[in-house]
Amino acid sequence: MIPTAPTRRPKFTEGYPNDPALDRLVDAFTRGNHKLVRDEAEALAKTTDDAKVAEAARDLRRRLDPDPLAYVLLATTAVLLVVLAAWAIRQSKRFDSTRPTAPPTTVQIVK
């Protein structure tokens, strides 16, 4: 097994209390193992007797949630896409109906 270099803890964790289970979650967060943090942070918050550890575990879990602004921007983009597509379809039909058509051709049958 190759030893890994120690990773630097995020600055926001400086105020977190010292707790082995919380330190394990912070290390997992730092290494990018977000699945472990998602799975165990809430369980730690429910089982610990220390309110500060519980709040720190919940804070760590909240930091993995997407920014609410991202949902607003995604919805705005979807609405804009639908509006522009509808406008483009309407414009194309308008130009098709005003385009001059060739007169019907007649075919003469010679006997």
Q: Give the pair of three-digit tokens for residue 79.
A: 């609405």
- The CA-atom distances, in angstroms, between 72 and each of 59, 80, 83, 85, 86 are 22, 12, 17, 20, 21
Question: DSSP alpha helices (H): ranges in 1-111?
Answer: 20-31, 34-47, 51-62, 68-98
pTM of the model: 0.62
Kindly state the average pLDDT of the residues 75-91. 95
- Burial class for 29, CB neighbours closer than 10 Å (0-12, 13-18, 19+): buried
Is pLDDT of 86 > 70? yes
Whether pLDDT at 3 is above 90: no
The b-or-e profile of 18-27 (16+ CB within 10 A means b, else e) is: ebeebeebbb
32: left (phi over 0), alpha (psi -120 to 50) or beta: left
For residue 47, name the pLDDT band (cuts at 50, 70, 90).
very high
